[in-house]
């Protein structure tokens, strides 16, 4: 990756306020950073520090209230999904009434893929993560770790250049979390995708060379941008 | 107190389900309360009308050998007596009069002695037609037979004594001749069929002068009565009032120690109303309780949407060591809060709805039983809330641990086949009942005269119940099976709407088969309730219209007194009156068929069909138009009753010779007719045997074209107003009636039921409930839907795709619900009308389907479903990504 290539995400003085008037709360304040293709970054911070807010902004699921947020290498906000950015959420994000395979195939179908083709790709993605045995299970029949790995498979199936994982291990015990992160890493490597991961767990941060910190809505990258 | 804190938290955190339970409870309470109060008030009206219809409450027959004055004294001393007067009856060997040089004689007749003031004390008994209201009075029919008018002399024959001559003071209409001449003490059914044809009423003192000598010689020809008016301070329901009055009668008879027997007219009237009251109660059960059941089901479903929250919180509380008993108390507190709120709102709504739908008169007519009704409704409401909230809380509290998370979706197992078997059994049962009630001799309610017990054919009630239960189970079972196994077909069906997502949407619908089948069932049940009530009630309205028209004849009817020779040309004068759109003259004569005296109606067959709105059901062997055409093509044709056909062994085309009174000579002359058909009912005709022939033929054969009544068509102009104008043109001797007042007076006391108001009320409820089933329940499961939306949005779904997900659900629930609701409703009303056929008078030939109303129901349902879907979509969009932020 050459330093001159267009970044996947570019934040310039990005801020996000919730509420209005006296009730106003600044969740994110003057954040500037950029994500390049192939980056692997862990963002750590305590609960309520603004991790999810930042992750959702970067994924194009939310809009900043100040500053400029752009995806120079990917396109406009409306063009990001499905396909350009895969997201693994903090809380369960599988549809309860669809099977694992159907859940994984869903973003492909949303993108307009033939249902049979989508299913094929979904099964491949599940197999790649050793989850093929779960294909016909319903989400409520899965453990927390299994659910999160299925969510990763769903990202893998669409093959995006950028994966954003918001506290993917937040609800998991340590061993399960480790397995989950292995899967995530394996996926990103397979896709050649950049990974941005948020966590409040120092043990998770330790796995990544590039560590950013967030506190009270302020991002500290420790790098010159 | 923990419970209060808990409740406060609950109301602020997740008010939807709790408010929903309160609203469902309120709906049930309001429906039950307003219907209960309405039916109670209706029963009170029935009692009041029955009392008002009777002019002499009791006719106390003085037994042979007893002293009439002793009986009179005892009766006057009876606490319930308000007025008592002696009346004497004697059989006359015959009456005669010579007028216009000819002598008219009659067969045996009755001479009744009335004390001074009788007409004032018992106002309903006599209606003065011409001349003085007191003195020597002759009955209308007798005056016509003798050709006498006030001022003429008549001779009253006395068995074993010379006839006496007396002068007629007035002509009266004996309005309650049947009960006046009843045989007191005779067993029901052994009463002579008709009162005497010839009646003279004389002052009691005159009667004694004339008949005391007869009494000495022939006591069997003379009898005395004491006529009694009672205090009408009676219980409000016909059943209780009947029991009270018959009890008093027995009491008085006991006091008289054999000296007198009671002819209980009031008891008989109330006894007849008992059947109607029972019908009213049955209607309440069939038209009211299903609504309450649906409200209960909707409430349970609403409560279910809060189940996940409750299980989560219970798990937490258990983890913190809260005891089972405490959890149960929390559940009860929830139920009590929602239930009480619902009951209060429901009672208020019952009051408002009752006023709006029935008018103020129906509410609180009987405060005690109204209070009872409302109390009962409140209990049912609290029961529903407990079932909805406390029972599931208790069940979950016992079975849940922290680890067992709520399972939102379970594997697609279709409903067990045993449900189908049960459904089939119920439906078969309904079919059997339906066939049985169609057979002749079936009567739902039997209130035989003089028998204290009223009997109900209970098994017939199972018909509608089984149908409803069976159909409900079938819809539910089919819904589940089709959703689980018909997923592929569903996907194909959805493809145009959802594109590549069709499979996913179908899968999603299929896995939600429990929720969806329930929602479809609720819409179907509420819809069937709406369809059944609205068709039932419009059929009822149709039949009461037919009944009123059958009694009154036209919108306004002018009935000429007997002997008045009003020619058909008088129609022209009537037609000139403003508001009169058409006039149809109808001859009315008396004809001897053998020795039997029957009413004969002379009609103009070509015009009477439309003018009197003749129904096909009035005739047998052809429709109204067909039969009248037959009469028209056969100038000497005659329609007779089925009994007459049987009595005389008539075959079509047979000659039938009647004796009719000739207009010129006044003598009975034979007139030959040809039997062409059977008539069962005819406007203004009596219930028993009568005849219908061509007016032109009758006029020619009797040299008399006098018209008995004119049927006036007002073509939409208010009949009462037209009647008032017609009255002054028709003169004082003619009777003018309008269909509006007839509708109020005639028919069974069931007409006290204002089914119109009931329809409005029930349709309103059906709509609210169906809309709740179609919209509110799915919308309340919003947490579920929000999650789905957030995920879909995060995966990049566009609005069209989001809409497909929610729209498919709404479409499925509404379409399947409306379709099955219409089918169940149609079957239900068919069975209901068959079972409750006694409510209708006359029984309907066909159901009256109020299409516009039904289309309206469908429209509102669609709007509710669409509205709910749109609202869910909007609410879900608003939720954005926050739903996936926290854990
Ligand atoms: N929709 C919202 N409305 C108001 N405040 C919010 C909203 N979402 C998040 N916040 C607040 O913004 C801050 C940052 O939240 P979040 O990004 O979820 O933190 P983290 O993911 O690091 O725990 C918190 O104080 C949180 O309470
Ligand atoms: Mg977070």
Rounded to the nearest 5°, which phi and psi values hold at B92?
-100, 145
Could you tell me the distance, in angstroms and rounded to a whole number, from the CA of residue A199 to the centre of ligand 2?
8
Q: Are A169 and A201 in contact (CB under 8 A)?
A: yes
User: Counting atoms of ligand 1 from 1, which one is nearest the CA of B885?
Assistant: 18
Q: How far apart are CA B402 and CA B404, in angstroms?
A: 6
Nearest one of A161, A221, A185 to A38, comparing CA atoms: A161
**Residue A49 to residues A29, B254, B447, B500, B850, Cα–Cα distance (Å):** 11, 97, 82, 40, 65
- CB spacing of A95 vs B788 below 8 angstroms: yes
Q: Are B50 and B238 in contact (CB under 8 A)?
A: yes
Nearest one of B713, B694, B710 to B702, comparing CA atoms: B694
Continuous segment of H or E residues that includes residue A196? strand A194-199
Q: What is the pLDDT of residue B776?
A: 62
Q: How far apart are CA B628 and CA B583, in angstroms?
A: 18
Write out pLDDT tens, residues B614-635.
888 788 888 889 999 999 999 9
pLDDT of B674 above 90 = yes
Q: Which of A81, A95, A100 to mutate to test the interface with B (most CBs of B within 10 A)?
A: A95
Find the domain containing A189 and state its range: 9-220
CATH code of the domain covering residue A210: 3.40.50.300
Q: What is the pLDDT of residue B352?
A: 81
Rounded to an integer, the average pLDDT of B111-132 is 87
Q: How far apart are CA B681 and CA B669, in angstroms?
A: 27
Q: What is the pLDDT of residue B406?
A: 46
- CB spacing of A87 vs B499 below 8 angstroms: no
Tell me if residue B251 falls in helix, strand or coil. Answer: helix
Q: Are B140 and B148 in contact (CB under 8 A)?
A: no
In this complex, which of A97, A112, A154 lies closest to B511 when CB atoms are compared? A97
Q: How far apart are CA B620 and CA B677, in angstroms?
A: 8
Nearest one of B731, B689, B690, B686 to B710, comparing CA atoms: B731
Q: What is the pLDDT of residue A32?
A: 93
Q: B648: burial class by Cβ within 10 Å (0-12, 13-18, 19+)? A: middle
Q: What is the pLDDT of residue B887?
A: 37
User: Counting atoms of ligand 1 from 1, which one is nearest the CA of A25?
Assistant: 5
Could you tell me the distance, in angstroms and rounded to a whole number, from the CA of residue A2 to the centre of ligand 1?
35
Q: How far apart are CA B535 and CA B846, in angstroms?
A: 11
Q: B815: burial class by Cβ within 10 Å (0-12, 13-18, 19+)? A: middle
Write out pLDDT tens, residues A169-201.
877 788 888 888 898 898 888 888 999 999 988
Query: Which residues lie closer than 8 Å to B799 by C-beta, 6 or more apart?
Result: none
Residue B576 or residue B785, greater confidence: B576
* Lining residues, ligand 1, CB within 6 Å: A 18-19, 25, 27, 45, 47-53; B 882, 885
Bridge partners of B834? none
Rounded to an integer, the average pLDDT of B660-668 is 81
**Residue B765 to residues A210, B23, B291, B530, B881, Cα–Cα distance (Å):** 65, 12, 7, 8, 38
Write out pLDDT tens, residues B254-275.
998 888 889 899 998 888 888 8
Write out pLDDT tens, residues B186-220.
655 455 556 787 899 999 999 999 998 888 888 88
pLDDT of A103 above 90 = yes
- CB spacing of A97 vs B796 below 8 angstroms: no
Taking contacts as CB-CB distances below 8 angstroms, the residues of chain A near B411 are 138
Which one of A46, A47, A50, A62 would you pick to mutate in the ligand 1 pocket, going by the greatest count of ligand atoms within 8 A of its CB?
A: A50
Q: Which of A62, A98, A137 to mutate to test the interface with B (most CBs of B within 10 A)?
A: A98
Does a structural domain hold residue A127?
Answer: yes
What percentage of chain B carries pLDDT values higher than 70? 87
Q: How far is A134 from chain B (nearest CA, A)?
A: 14
- Residue B597 CB neighbour total at 10 angstroms: 15
Write out pLDDT tens, residues B547-556.
788 888 888 8
Render B578-598 in DSSP notation, one character per residue. TT--EEEEEEEEEEEETTEEE
User: Counting atoms of ligand 1 from 1, which one is nearest the CA of B886?
Assistant: 18
Which range (B119-123, B186-190, B828-832) has the least confidence? B186-190
Tell me if residue B202 falls in helix, strand or coil. Answer: strand
Q: What is the pLDDT of residue B19?
A: 82
In this complex, which of A110, A113, A170 lies closest to B795 when CB atoms are compared? A110
Does a structural domain hold residue A71?
Answer: yes
Terminal Cα distance for chain A, rounded:
16
Q: What is the pLDDT of residue B777?
A: 59
Could you tell me the distance, in angstroms and rounded to a whole number, from the CA of residue A51 to the centre of ligand 2?
6
Taking contacts as CB-CB distances below 8 angstroms, the residues of chain A near B405 are 140
Residue B369 or residue B504, greater confidence: B504
Predicted complex ipTM exceeds 0.95: no
Q: Return the percent helix, strand and coil in chain B, to nearest 5.
A: 60, 15, 25
Which range (B13-27, B149-163, B306-320) has the least confidence? B306-320
Does a structural domain hold residue A188?
Answer: yes
Q: How far apart are CA B249 and CA B255, in angstroms?
A: 10
Query: Which residues lie closer than 8 Å to B582 by C-beta, 6 or more apart?
Result: B575, B611, B712, B713, B715
Nearest one of B228, B221, B222, B235 to B262, comparing CA atoms: B228
Rounded to the nearest 5°, which phi and psi values hold at B135?
110, -145
Whether omega before A164 lies within 30 degrees of 0, making that bond cis, reads no
Q: Which two tokens stand for residue B243?
A: 């029991």
Chain length of chain A: 225
Could you tell me the distance, in angstroms and rounded to a whole number, from the CA of residue A168 to the centre of ligand 2?
10
Closest ligand (CA of A47): 1
Write out pLDDT tens, residues B748-757.
556 556 666 6
Does a structural domain hold residue A3?
Answer: no
**Could you identify the residue written with the tokens 């004068």?**
B573
Q: How far apart are CA A156 and CA A86, in angstroms?
A: 8
C-alpha triplet B868, B871, B877: angle, nearest 5°: 140
Residue A104 or residue B771, greater confidence: A104
Q: Which two tokens stand for residue B111?
A: 């001479």
Domain count, chain A: 1
Q: How far apart are CA B51 and CA B369, in angstroms?
A: 20
User: Counting atoms of ligand 1 from 1, which one is nearest the CA of A28?
Assistant: 14
Does a structural domain hold residue A4?
Answer: no
Q: How far apart are CA B805 and CA B800, in angstroms?
A: 9
Q: What is the pLDDT of residue B13?
A: 63
- Residue B743 CB neighbour total at 10 angstroms: 18
Nearest one of B694, B714, B716 to B705, comparing CA atoms: B694
Write out pLDDT tens, residues B699-736.
999 888 888 889 998 888 888 888 888 888 877 778 88
Q: Which of B312, B484, B504 to mutate to test the interface with A (most CBs of A within 10 A)?
A: B504
Bridge partners of A25? A18
Asked if B412 has any chain A CB less than 8 Å from its own CB, the reply is no
Write out pLDDT tens, residues B342-384.
899 988 888 887 777 666 545 555 667 677 778 888 888 888 8
Taking contacts as CB-CB distances below 8 angstroms, the residues of chain A near B791 are 93-95
The pTM of this model reads: 0.77
Angle between helices B238-256 and B68-77 in degrees, nearest 10: 130
pLDDT of B386 above 90 = no
**Minimum CA–CA partner of B403 in chain A:** A143
Mean pLDDT rounded to a whole number for chain A: 88
Q: How far apart are CA B259 and CA B435, in angstroms?
A: 52
Does a structural domain hold residue A1?
Answer: no
Write out pLDDT tens, residues B756-812.
667 777 777 777 777 777 666 566 566 677 778 788 888 888 878 888 877 788 888
Q: Given the DSSP bridges, would you call strands B735-738 and B556-559 parallel, antiparallel or unpaired?
A: antiparallel
Does a structural domain hold residue A123?
Answer: yes
Write out pLDDT tens, residues B452-499.
667 777 888 889 999 999 999 999 999 888 888 888 888 888 888 778
Render A76-134 in DSSP notation, one character per residue. -GGGSTTTTEEEE-SS--S-TTS-HHHHHHHHHHHTT--HHHHHHHHHHHHHHTT-GGG
Tell me if residue B124 falls in helix, strand or coil. Answer: coil
pLDDT of B393 above 80 = no
**Could you identify the residue written with the tokens 């073509």?**
B715
Q: What is the pLDDT of residue B820?
A: 93
Q: What is the pLDDT of residue A1?
A: 44
Chain length of chain B: 887
Rounded to an integer, the average pLDDT of B387-400 is 75
- Band (B405; pLDDT cuts 50, 70, 90): very low
Q: What is the pLDDT of residue B696?
A: 92
Which range (A88-92, B285-289, B399-403, B540-544) has the least confidence? B399-403
pLDDT of B276 above 90 = no
Q: Which two tokens stand for residue A144?
A: 């927390």
């Amino acid at each position: 990756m050459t330093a001159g290539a267009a970044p996947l995400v570019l934040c310039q003085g990005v801020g996000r306020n919730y509420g209005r008037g006296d009730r106003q709360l600044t969740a994110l304040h003057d954040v500037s950073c950029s994500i390049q293709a192939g980056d692997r970054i862990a963002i750590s911070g305590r609960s309520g520090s603004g991790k999810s807010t930042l992750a959702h902004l970067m994924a194009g699921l939310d809009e900043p209230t100040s500053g400029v947020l752009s995806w120079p290498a990917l396109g406009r906000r409306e063009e990001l999904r499905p396909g350009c950015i895969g997201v693994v959420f903090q809380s369960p994000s599988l549809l309860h009434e669809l099977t694992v395979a159907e859940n994984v195939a869903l973003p492909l179908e949303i993108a307009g893929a033939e249902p049979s083709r989508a299913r094929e790709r979904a099964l491949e993605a599940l197999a790649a993560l050793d989850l093929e045995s779960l294909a016909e299970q319903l989400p409520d029949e899965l453990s927390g770790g299994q659910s999160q790995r299925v969510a990763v498979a769903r990202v893998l199936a669409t093959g995006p250049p950028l994966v954003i994982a918001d506290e993917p291990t937040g609800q998991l015990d340590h061993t399960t979390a480790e397995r989950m992160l292995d899967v995530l890493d394996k996926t990103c490597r397979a896709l050649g995708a950049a990974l941005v991961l948020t966590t409040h767990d120092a043990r998770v941060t330790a796995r990544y060379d590039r560590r950013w910190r967030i506190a009270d809505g302020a991002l500290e990258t420790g790098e010159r941008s | 107190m923990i419970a209060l804190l808990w409740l406060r938290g609950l109301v602020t955190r997740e008010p939807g389900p709790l408010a929903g339970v309160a609203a469902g409870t309120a709906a049930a309470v309001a429906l039950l309360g307003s219907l209960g109060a309405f039916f109670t008030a209706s029963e009170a009206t029935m009692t009041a009308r029955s009392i008002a219809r009777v002019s002499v409450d009791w006719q106390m027959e003085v037994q042979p050998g007893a002293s009439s004055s002793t009986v009179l004294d005892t009766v006057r001393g009876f606490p319930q007596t308000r007025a008592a007067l002696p009346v004497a009856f004697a059989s006359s060997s015959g009456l005669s009069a010579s007028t216009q040089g000819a002598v008219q004689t009659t067969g045996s007749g009755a001479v009744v002695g009335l004390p001074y003031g009788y007409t004032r004390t018992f106002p309903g008994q006599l209606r003065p037609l011409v001349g003085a209201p007191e003195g020597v009075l002759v009955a209308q029919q007798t005056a016509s037979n003798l050709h006498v008018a006030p001022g003429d002399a008549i001779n009253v024959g006395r068995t074993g004594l010379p006839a006496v001559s007396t002068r007629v003071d007035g002509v009266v209409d004996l309005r309650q001749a049947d009960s006046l001449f009843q045989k007191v003490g005779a067993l029901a059914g052994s009463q002579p069929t008709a009162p005497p044809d010839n009646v003279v009423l004389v002052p009691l003192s005159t009667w004694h002068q004339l008949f005391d000598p007869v009494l000495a010689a022939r006591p069997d020809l003379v009898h005395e009565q004491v006529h009694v008016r009672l205090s009408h301070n009676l219980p409000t329901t016909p059943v209780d009032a009947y029991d009270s009055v018959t009890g008093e009668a027995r009491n008085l008879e006991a006091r008289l120690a054999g000296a007198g027997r009671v002819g209980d007219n009031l008891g008989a009237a109330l006894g007849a109303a008992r059947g109607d009251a029972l019908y009213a109660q049955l209607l309440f059960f069939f038209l009211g309780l299903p609504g309450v059941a649906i409200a209960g089901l909707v409430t349970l479903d609403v409560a279910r949407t809060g189940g996940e929250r409750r299980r989560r919180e219970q798990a937490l509380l258990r983890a913190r060591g809260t005891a089972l008993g405490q959890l149960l108390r929390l559940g009860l507190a929830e139920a009590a809060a929602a239930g009480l709120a619902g009951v209060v709102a429901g009672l208020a709504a019952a009051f408002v709805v009752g006023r709006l739908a029935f008018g103020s008169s129906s509410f609180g007519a009987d405060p005690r039983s109204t209070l009872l009704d409302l109390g009962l409704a409140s209990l049912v409401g609290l029961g529903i809330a407990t079932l909805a909230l406390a029972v599931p809380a208790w069940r979950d509290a016992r079975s849940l641990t922290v680890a067992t998370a709520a399972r939102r979706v379970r594997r697609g197992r279709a409903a067990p086949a045993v449900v189908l078997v049960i459904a089939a059994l119920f439906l078969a049962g309904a079919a059997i009942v339906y066939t049985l009630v169609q057979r002749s001799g079936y009567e739902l309610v039997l209130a035989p005269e003089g028998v204290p017990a009223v009997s109900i054919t209970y098994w017939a009630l199972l018909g509608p119940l089984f149908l409803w239960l069976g159909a409900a189970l079938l819809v539910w079972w089919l819904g589940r099976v089709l959703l689980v196994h018909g997923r592929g077909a569903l996907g194909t069906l959805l493809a145009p709407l959802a594109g590549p997502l069709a499979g996913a949407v179908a899968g999603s619908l299929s896995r939600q088969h429990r929720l969806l089948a329930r929602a479809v069932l609720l819409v179907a049940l509420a819809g069937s309730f709406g369809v059944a009530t609205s068709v039932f009630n419009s059929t009822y309205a149709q039949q009461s219209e037919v009944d009123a028209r059958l009694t009154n004849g036209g919108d306004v009817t002018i009935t000429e007194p007997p002997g008045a020779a009003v020619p058909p040309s008088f129609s022209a004068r009537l037609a000139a009156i403003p508001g009169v759109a058409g006039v149809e003259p109808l001859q009315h004569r008396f004809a001897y068929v053998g020795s039997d005296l029957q009413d004969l109606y002379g009609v103009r067959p070509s015009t009477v069909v439309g003018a009197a709105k003749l129904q096909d059901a009035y005739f047998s062997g052809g429709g109204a138009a067909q039969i009248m055409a037959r009469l028209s093509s056969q100038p000497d044709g005659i329609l007779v009753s089925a009994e007459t056909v049987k009595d005389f062994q008539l075959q079509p085309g047979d000659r039938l010779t009647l004796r009719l009174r000739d207009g010129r000579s006044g003598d009975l002359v034979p007139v030959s007719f040809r039997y062409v058909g059977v008539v069962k009912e005819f406007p203004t005709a009596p219930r028993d045997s009568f005849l219908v022939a061509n007016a032109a033929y009758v006029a020619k054969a009797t040299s008399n074209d006098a018209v008995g009544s004119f049927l006036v068509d007002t073509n939409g102009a208010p009949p009462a107003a037209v009647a008032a104008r017609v009255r002054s043109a028709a003169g004082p001797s003619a009777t003018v009636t309008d269909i509006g007042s007839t509708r109020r007076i005639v028919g069974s006391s069931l007409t006290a039921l204002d089914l119109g108001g009931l329809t409005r009320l029930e349709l309103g409820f059906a709509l609210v409930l169906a809309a709740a089933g179609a919209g509110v329940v799915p919308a309340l499961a919003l947490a579920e839907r929000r999650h789905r939306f957030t995920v879909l949005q995060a995966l990049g779904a566009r609005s069209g795709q989001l809409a497909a997900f929610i729209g498919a659900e709404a479409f499925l629930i509404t379409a399947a619900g409306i379709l099955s609701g219409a089918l169940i409703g149609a079957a239900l009303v068919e069975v209901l009308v068959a079972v409750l056929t006694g409510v209708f008078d006359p029984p309907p030939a066909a159901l009256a389907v109020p299409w516009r109303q039904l289309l309206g129901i469908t429209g509102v349902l669609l709007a509710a479903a669409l509205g709910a879907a749109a609202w869910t979509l909007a609410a879900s969009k608003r939720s954005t990504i926050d739903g996936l932020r926290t854990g």
